[in-house]
Amino acid sequence: MPTPSDIRSAAQAAVDAAQAVVSGTMRIPPASARIAAQLPDLLENLAATTGRLNTTMDRVDRYLALAEPMLRTMDRLLPQLEALVAAGDEVYGALSEIPGVSTLGRFTAGLSSEERSPGNRKNPRP
């Protein structure tokens, strides 16, 4: 059977232990305690955001799957278009070196396509 002094010393030890736990928790800064209190909400928001991100990524995958044939076609056409533009640049460069071409260009700049056609002689330019 414990004596009263044993009970008193056990109670004192329990009080000391409780004070140590409380003083240990009091050492946590208030900002950290607020952040710790917000963690469940933050985790819930993170889970919801991750779900929305996954939905968006699925949608992007579906759009890319639909666009893939067009992208492959463009990949095949682009080199041909680049070659065509380069040939046009070469022709333009060669024609611009011919004397008098710039003067001819100024004369024909104001004409419409109907006025340039040889069969249309009804409305001569003033």
Q: Which of 14-23, 51-60, 94-103, 110-119 has the lowest mean pLDDT?
A: 110-119
pTM of the model: 0.39
How confident is the model over 81-105, as pLDDT tens digits? Answer: 999 999 999 988 888 788 877 777 6
| CA-closest candidate to residue 47, choices 58, 39, 59, 57 | 39
How confident is the model over 35-65, as pLDDT tens digits? Answer: 777 888 888 888 999 999 999 999 999 999 9
| CA quadruple 34, 37, 40, 44: dihedral sign | negative
